Each structure stands twice: as C-alpha cells, then as structure tokens.
A and B are shown apart, each in its own frame.
Chain A
Amino acid sequence: MSFLNQNILTWIVLSPFIAALLLIITPPNRGALIRWIALLGAGLTLPLSILVAILYNRQQGGFQFQRDVPWINSLGIQYHVGVDGISVVLVLLTAIIITAGVFASWRVQNRTKEFLALLLFLVSGVFGVFVSLDLFFFFLFYEIAVLPMYLLIGIWGTGRKEYSAMKLTLYLLFGSAFILVGILSLYFVSPQHTFDLLTLQRSGRFSYAFQRIIFLAFYIGFGILAGIWPLHTWSPDGHASAPTAVSMLHAGVLMKLGAYGILRVGVGLLPGGAHTWAFLMGAIATINILYGAFSAMGQTDFKYVVAYSSVSHMGVVMLGIASLNPVGVNGAVMQMFSHGIMTGLFFAVVGLVYEKSHTRDILKMGGFAKRMPGVAVAMTIGGLASFGLPATSGFIAEFMVFWGMWHTFPVLAALSVIGIVLTAVYVLRILQKIFLGPFTEQYHDLADAQKTEWVAITALAALLILVGVMPSPLVNLIRLGLHGFHLNI
C-alpha cells in the first residue's frame, strides 16, 4: 500500500509519457493499434486519479501521496510530488479531459501517430504541474505543457494556423520568462536556497517589498496562460485554429495551469503581494468577464464564440482568486473544474458539427437539432452550465465566486454579475441559430454523433449535471486544500 501511496502520482505523470514513447516506435500504418495505445495511456490516468481522490485522507488533509527524490543536490532541486485537495480536483479534471480528448480525436487521419504522441506528451506535462511541489519541476513541466501546442496547432490546425500557433507559443513563453525570474528570486531570497514549495511556504518570510514585485511577475507570467485581459489575445486565435482535442485540452485544462500557478505559487507563497494587488486582479477579472462575453456575442464563427466564452469564464476563476477568502477561492477552483468540463464539451460539439457540416459560420447554419438531436441536447446542457443555471456545476461555482467577491469588493462583484446575463445572450443565440429554427436544406446529409463520438459528449454533459446536483464531495475536497493559504476569513 505504501508503494502505491508513494508512486501513484508518478504513474499518473508517466503513463501518458510512456504511451507517447511507445507511439513513436509504433509503425505509422497500424492505425488501430496507435489509437488503442493512446487510449490506454490516457485512460489509465482516469482510474488512477479517481483512486487518488478516494484514497485521499480527508481527516488528515494537507499534501498526501508525497514522493521526494533528490535530483541535483548542489542546487537543492528534488523531484517532489504530492497533492492536496485542490490538486486532486485538477488532476481528476485533466484525466477526464484527456480521455475524452483521445475519443474526440479518434478520427484524426493525418499523421495520427505524431498527433496522439504530442497530445500525450503535453498532458503528462500538465499532470506534472499539478502534482509538483518543487518549483524547478513545476517550471519544467509547465514548459513541457506549453511547447507541443505549437506543433499540434501548426500541423493539424485549420485557418490561420501558422500565425495562431506562433502567437500562442510566443505569448506563453514570454510569460514563462517572468515566471522563471520569479522562481529564481524565490530561490535566491529563501534562506535555505531551495526550490521546494513546502519549505518555502513554511519558512519563507519574504519582505513585503519583495512580495509586491515578485507577485506581479508571477501574476503576469501565469496570467498570460490564464487569459487575463489584455494579454488574452492568443487564446481566441489559438483555440479557434486548433484541432478539436487540442482546443478541449487547452481551454479545458491548460488555461487552468495559469490560474493554478497564480493560486499555488503567487497567493500561496506571496500572500502579502496577493493582498496588495487583489483589487487590480479583481478589476482585470471583471473586464475579462464582460469583455469576453461582449466579444463572444459579436462572433459569427462558432469556434470563436466558444473561445471568447473561455476568456470570459477564466475571468470568473480569476475573480474568485482575487476575493482571497475561502468561499471565493473554493468557487474559483470549482469554476476551473466546471469550466474545464464545460468547454471540453463545447469544443467536442464544435468539432462534431464542423466535421459533419464543414462550416463553422453560425449564420449559415440552422435547425441542426432535427438531424443531430443528441448533439443538440449536449450543447444545451453545456450552455445552461455556462450561464450558471441551478443544478449544473456552473451554478455552484459562480455562486461561490460572487458570494466570496461580495465580501471583498462588492462593486466588482455587482459588475461581474452582468456577465451572466451577457453569457445567457450569446449562449441562447448560438443555440437558436445553429440548432433551432428552420432546417437549412444544403446540409441534407447531416447525421447525429456515432459510436465513439458519443463517448466524449455524453460523459462530459453527464458530469456537468452530476456535479451540479451533488457538489459537496468536490467542494469539501477543495476546502481541505485551502488551509495552506493565508486567506481572509
């Protein structure tokens, strides 16, 4: 049992990585074998992360399943992994999305092997970030998670793919330059010269002036990935150009890496800095919510609507973090989970609709619900969760975020709530234009989802409702993770 306890996180990180290596040596013409290896590598993480969520000792709390192996002694770098309530939820989210993502890319024909290998490589970086307790490995995994995106969008994307891929990569790596300087500062200023997150958290009494500056570096660095305004412009382009599974993974999980970084490293290690900049974070998050929603209203490309809705919803996450109280932060993590599932569902639907109708132009579509009722139902559930209808996961998350924010900055909370109305407008607009109304005859051979295509959308839509009806397991788990942070009560 202790063997399992110590290594289960490492296996979660390694399982997609090993599958990616296997894919590299698999001959390219064995299509079925390639898909099954990928599914196994990705799917194995799902039972493992459910196991982690079940075995996580709720009485004990704190970081569990820790493993600590020295790597470079002279620099104080160690491979140190462990999860608390927050990371458990995010690991679970990642496992769900990548498994759904492999199903969603079941029909990728062009260079399947490389596509799936890169996707798995990327996702093991994502898992790595969520479980790392050493800032060096945190940064290493972070970079691994960002770079494969360039090739994934550049090769398998659509539209202005080369432009979008380069823009996305440069934006995110520009952010990581700030993160690197921030991490080196922590290392240098800490008395033990260590990268270890727990040691830094326990003993790092950083001066107020230091916290103020370095928090800002982390906020910009991670914030770019979290899509904060005005540094979000890579995200609509990138998500719109990317192939389905990549958009699902990127909007669903990768943007959460940014928010997680701000929470874990920024708020966790530099609480003084976080309190100084809380209003700024809140204000920018409010702009994100409103600006993202307005932009989504103005789009005619289905995928751009969903991409801008991500910008808006990530604003809700950042708003929750900016509230700096337990309810708000809890809501932020809930929103990360909820939005991850929801946007995964959205992009899966966009992919299906595009694959069958060969268009993403909303104005040219209409009445699709007649030919693809299942897809329409899934989209409707996602849309309802998107503007936070009760009994969907979005309701719980947004309610907690706005409640938390109300106690810290009531004005910002009041402004952001307008975002819900705007969300309802654009969600209902696409539902109406695409799925309802008279059927456009030129799409006469349109068909509903088939076989493996069902897996992703059914599972994700069901989860949205399940979490909405029964949120307490997740909420309680997240609450256990909040003890390490210096939050307002």
Chain B
Amino acid sequence: MRHEWAILLPYIVLTGWSVIVIAVGLMGERIRSDQLGYLAAFGLLVGAATQIIAPHRILWNGLLLGDSYSTIFNTIFMIVGAVVCWASASWKGSAPYEPEFYGLIMLATVGLMLMAAAGSLLILFIGIELSTISLFALVSITKRDRKSAEAGLKLFVLGAVASAVFLYGASLIYGAAGTTEYWRLLLLSQSPKMVQTTLLFIGFCFVVGALSFKLAAAPFHLWAPDVYQGAPTIVSAFISTVSKAGAFAALIRIILLASAANWHGLLMVIIALAAISMVVGNLVALAQTSLKRLLAYSGVAQVGYILTAVAVGGSRDSISSAIVYLLLYSFTNAGAFLVCGAMQETTDSETIESLRGLHRRSAPLAFAMLILLLSLGGIPPLAGFVGKIFLFEAAYTGGLWRLVLLGAIMSVVALYYYLSVVLQMYIRDPDDDRRVVVAPSLGGAIALCTVITVLIGAFPAPWIKAGNHAASSARKTFEFEVMASHRIQSNRVADISYKLDRQ
C-alpha cells in the first residue's frame, strides 16, 4: 500500500500547491501578482518532476492506471500548464482574482491528469468534471468583460449537457455490463455471457460524443470558437491545447478497449468524426476574420488529423503518433495563442488585420508566429511536419488511405488561411508604426514554445521513442490486467501491480 502514496504524489502535490497559491494570495498587498504566477509555474514543474519519478502501478483494482502512458500525458499537461502560468505572470487582466486564477489552472490540470490515468468511467467522469468546472470559472475570470462572461456561460451550459450525455452513456454501459472498469469490460466482451452488445455500443457512442465535446471535434465543436474568442487569450491557450490532450488521453484508452474487444462500430464513429472535423474545421477557418476564431477552427481540423491516426485502433504507431502530435501541438498552438494575447495587449484587437505589418512593429514576435503557424500547417523542418507524416503513416498502415488522402488535401486548404495570416504580418504594411512591446515573461513563454517547436522538428527521434514507449505501455496495461485476472480470479490488487512492475 505504500506505493499508493508514491503514485498519487503528483496529484497530491498539485492539489496542495493550488491551495497554497490561493492562501498566499490572501496575503494581499505584500505579494505581487507576478510572484504568484511564478509560484504556480514552479508548483507545476515540481508536480512534473514527481510524476516522472513516480512508480508505475495500477491502483485500486484498475481504477487508476499509473503507467508510462499516463506519465507522459501528465507531464505534458503540467509543463504546458507551467508555461501558461509563466506567460500570465505579467498579465493584469485577472485582477483581483489572481490567486484563484492560478489555483484553478492547477486544479484543471489535476482533472486532466485524472482523465489520462482513468481506468474506469467513474474516475474519468471525476476528471472531466474537475477540469471543466475549473475552466468555467477561468473562462469568465474577467467577469466585467461581457464577452468573457458570455463565453463562461456558454461553456457551462454546453458542458453540463456534455456531462449529462456522458453520464447517460456510462449508465447504459453499467446497465449492460454491470461494471465501468475498462479491464472488466474487456473480460466481459471476451466471454460468451455478454449479450447486450448493442446497448454497450450505444453507451460508448454517448461517452465518445461527450469526449468529442471536450476535444472540440466537429460536429461537437460549436462552442469552441465563441469560447476561445470570449475567454481571456491565455485561458484559450490552455483550453485549446491541454484540455484537448486530456480528452484524447481518455479517448485513446477507450479506443484501445474497443479494438481489443473487437467493437469495430466505435472505430467507424471515430473515422466519421475525423473526416468531418478535417473538412469542417479547415473550410470554416477560411472565412474567419478573428485570429482567435481562426485558431479555434484550425484546432478543430488538427483534432481531425489526430483522430485519423486514432481511428486505426490499438496499433502502437497510431497511439504513439497521436501522443507525439499532441505534445508538439500543445506547445505550438499555445504559442500561437500567446502571440495573439501579446498583440491584444497592445492593439486591443484580435482580428487578423491587427497583425498588419507585424514584422516592422516587432520582428521577433512576427518570426515566432511565422514558425508556429508554419508548424501548424505542417511545413518542414518544423515539428508539425514530422508529426503529421507520422500520423498519416500510422493511419495509412492501418488501412485508412482514403482518410489520409482527405487529410493531405485538407492540409493544403489549411495553408491558405495560415498563409493569409503570414501575408498580413510580412507583406502588408502596418497601419501605425508603434512598436509592439511584449512583457518579458510572456515573451519568454512564446520563445520557449517556438524553440520547442523547432527542436521537435529537428530531432524527432527521442520524442517518437518516448511516444512508442508510452503507447506500448498503454497496450500492456490492459493485457496485464486481463491476464492477471484470468489467473487469480480475485480482486487482489497486489498481484496485478506486481506484474505490471516487471514489464
């Protein structure tokens, strides 16, 4: 039992630290708001460190899966969270709620981590709720701003519906199988006693639908542009990256389960989601005038690319490519939103037009945005290129060549709108020649995201290796659980975790 604490350490550290941040914030005048930001970022990094050294075990009879898969996702969440906290250290918009702002970001991260590690629909639900409820508040943290309040309300209403759908699906699954734990569901699917497959399928469709809401995969994406636009840009950077990654982490576990249990219907649903997301995201993005809405729709399209690989099912390459892409996407897209935030500070506008002649107003900012956008567009030698090829390679090997062709053609459409932002920045002349001044911490965060984007593109091998390792571990986790339960036919946790440790 002593391992329980070790596995839970990152969760405990973050939850505790968020309370500390809020408590320190109560000191009022004596603590500056940027110090709070650094404190929160430091806490997230400490959490990431504990996550990396935490042992790999299955907890509580398969409710919480502490494997390399959840480790890599949790680390991504915490590091991107730290980048967001660092970037917002100089941001004055959240006053007077700074302590709550940082505390909520940390709690949302805990929720996402639970989603990645969930081995049961119940834990998954707790994770979804913890992160979504924190996000409601974060989106409307600048509550005097009508748009922000409106965005918060929208996310709340639609999020509540998504939660209800999730719970309904979970109840159907429980009704059909009598359990919500993945490994038991897998066992049941292999036994002849399982008869309620239709009910189970419908239940999982609801669950996948609710997760698609969090992914902002079309046709469940309608909230995303409004919320990203209304929310403070730094919060949009968080929602559009790690929140999606969290939903993917949970979705991939379910897809692993579905492909191990031979529920091919569910894979068809993912294929449909991928195709619709790529088409809708890319085509609607063409018509946007707001940079944040453009990034929102481009995000929908990016989800479509990742789903293309996920739709293959349980192959190692498909999971691994999704992990690698989520990693690079998180940094790249967060960087793009942060640039947008930096522009908003100066010009008080978030239209694409407001970037006119940016290269003259701030050459480094324009260059960073150029790199980030080209990476999103999949141009070599940047991270997005390798990531996308890896995704498409996995999907092609999985037999989904039509989806790959659609994705490749849609990527060309995407370049049109990425390039029209580049057009504004580099080709058009600025309206006014005032320099854009970026606060050091925000600028540092943007630079970090840009450098990581370039680095992953130039040296993809170690990241792909880590992705492969995590993907194999997620597959093994299921196998070990099932194998162990076949042998011992009991709920003794120790045996299962012992096995897992020796893999």
Contact = CB atoms under 8 A, between A and B. Distances in A.
Contacts of A420: none
Interface in A141-167: 141, 143-144, 147, 150-151, 154-155, 161-162, 166
B419 A75 contact: no
Interface stretch (A182-190, A380-388, A426-434, A447-455): A182-190
Interface string B383-426: 00100011011001100010011001101100110011011001
Interface in B444-477: 460-461, 464-465, 468
A188 B412 contact: no
A188 B397 contact: yes
Secondary structure call for the B interface:
helix
A140 B381 contact: yes
A71 B411 CA distance: 25
A154 B460 contact: no
A151 B373 CA distance: 14
Contacts of A170: 412, 415-416
B440 interface: no
Contacts of A177: 405, 408-409, 411-412
B380 interface: yes
Interface in A429-462: none
Nearest to B416: A170
Contacts of A188: 396-397
A162 B420 CA distance: 10
A174 interface: yes
B404 A181 contact: yes
Interface in B249-277: none
Contacts of A73: 461
A151 B401 contact: no
Contacts of A184: 392-393, 396, 401, 404
Contacts of B385: 140, 143
B218 to A, nearest CB: 21
A234 interface: no
A161 B427 CA distance: 10
B422 A150 contact: yes
Nearest to B390: A75
B463 to A, nearest CB: 10
Contact of A155 (B420, B426, B461, B468): B426
Given A73-B461, A151-B422, A162-B423, A185 B401 contact: yes
Contacts of A74: 464-465, 468
A169 interface: yes
Nearest to A178: B408
Contacts of B408: 177-178, 180-181
Contacts of B416: 166, 170
A174 B380 contact: no
Given A166-B416, A180-B392, A144 B381 contact: yes
B405 A143 contact: no
Contact of B389 (A136, A151, A154, A155): A136
Interface residues of A, number: 32
Contacts of A72: 460-461, 464
A141 B381 CA distance: 8
A370 B461 CA distance: 62
A391 B393 CA distance: 50
Contact of B401 (A140, A144, A181): A181
A477 to B, nearest CB: 30
Nearest to A187: B393
Interface in A462-480: none
B379 interface: yes
A169 B419 contact: yes
A372 interface: no
Contacts of B422: 150-151
A162 B345 CA distance: 29
B131 to A, nearest CB: 32
A231 to B, nearest CB: 14
B48 interface: no
A298 B482 CA distance: 75
A143 B386 CA distance: 12
B484 interface: no
Given A147-B374, A174-B412, A154 B404 contact: no
A185 B396 CA distance: 8
B401 A143 contact: no
A302 to B, nearest CB: 25
A183 to B, nearest CB: 9
A108 interface: no
A173 interface: yes
A461 to B, nearest CB: 34
A154 B380 contact: no
A154 B412 contact: no
22 contacts: A72-B461, A73-B461, A74-B465, A140-B381, A141-B380, A147-B379, A150-B419, A151-B422, A151-B427, A155-B426, A161-B427, A169-B415, A173-B411, A173-B415, A177-B408, A177-B412, A180-B392, A181-B401, A181-B404, A184-B396, A184-B404, A187-B393
Interface of B: 374, 379-381, 385, 389-390, 392-393, 396-397, 401, 404-405, 408-409, 411-412, 415-416, 419-420, 422-423, 426-427, 460-461, 464-465, 468
Listed from nearest, the 4 A-B pairs whose CB atoms lie closest are: A177-B408, A140-B380, A184-B396, A154-B427
